[in-house]
């Protein structure tokens, strides 16, 4: 009988030892949560603040004679929309800085390029007037998109456009009706 007790003790010790080996082979991590509860008809999707518009490289010659270049189609994405709260959305766009020569364009706020700025067309392909409401977009329950087109334009037909990098920021506000 003592032999059975010794065998059980050895087996128990081996089991504990193998469990400690398994416990040593672990990876730990963490999940962080963030968000914001809002009292509006819709919420912004995570990729819609900021919306990133990358023009890539635009040749200076593409801006000759007041031409618009880039013409990047982008969307502001809304999620969890409730049409019992509102049936439409109107966006107002406001640049952090206006182009000093052409106030219809947002200024380049950093970088080395000059002589041009950024403009927008709204969901109805109308030129955006800064800080003014755009054409209303009808909402549906759930997910919605508010399309816009961003472009680069010389600040005047005779402007000397200098090549280089540029950055700019345009803020937006959505009002629900």
Over residues 128-151, the pLDDT tens digits come to 999 999 999 999 999 999 999 999
- Of 60, 126, 58, 130, which is closest to residue 93 (Cα–Cα)? 130
pTM for this prediction: 0.80
Mean pLDDT of 59-78: 94
Lowest model confidence (mean pLDDT) among 29-33, 99-103, 119-123: 29-33
- Please give the Cα distance from 167 to 109 (Å, whole number): 6
More confident residue, 133 or 66: 133
- Reported as a single tens digit per residue, the pLDDT across 27-64 is 888 888 888 888 899 999 998 989 999 999 999 999 99
pLDDT of 11 reads 54
Q: Is a pLDDT exceeding 80 seen at residue 77?
A: yes
With contact defined as beta carbons under 8 Å apart, do 143 and 78 qualify?
Answer: yes
**Where residue 175 falls among pLDDT bands split at 50, 70, 90?**
very high
Please identify, in words, the CATH class of the domain defined by 43-49+59-176: mainly beta
The token pair at 116 is: 């041009």
- Please give the Cα distance from 148 to 120 (Å, whole number): 7
Cβ neighbours of 120 (radius 10 Å): 24
Output the CA torsion sign for 72, 78, 79, 82: negative
pLDDT of 15 reads 54
Cis amide prior to 50 (ω within 30 degrees): yes
Q: What backbone torsions phi and psi does residue 16 show, to the nearest 5 degrees?
A: -65, -40
């Amino acid at each position: 009988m003592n032999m059975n007790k010794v065998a059980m003790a050895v087996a128990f010790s081996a089991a504990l030892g193998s469990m400690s080996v398994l416990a040593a082979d672990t990876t730990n991590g963490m999940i962080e949560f963030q968000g914001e509860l809002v009292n509006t008809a819709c919420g912004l999707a995570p990729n819609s603040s900021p919306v990133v518009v990358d023009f890539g490289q635009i040749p200076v010659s593409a801006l000759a004679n007041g031409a618009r270049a880039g013409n990047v189609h982008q969307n502001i994405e809304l999620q969890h929309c409730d049409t019992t709260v509102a049936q439409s959305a109107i966006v107002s766009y406001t640049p952090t800085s206006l182009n000093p020569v052409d106030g219809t364009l947002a200024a380049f706020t950093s970088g080395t390029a000059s002589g041009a700025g950024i403009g927008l067309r709204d969901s109805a392909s109308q030129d955006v007037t800064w800080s003014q409401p755009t054409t209303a977009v009808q909402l549906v329950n759930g997910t919605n998109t508010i399309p816009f087109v961003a472009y680069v334009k010389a600040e005047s037909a005779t402007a000397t456009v200098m090549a280089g990098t540029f950055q700019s920021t345009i803020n937006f506000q959505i009002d629900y009706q």
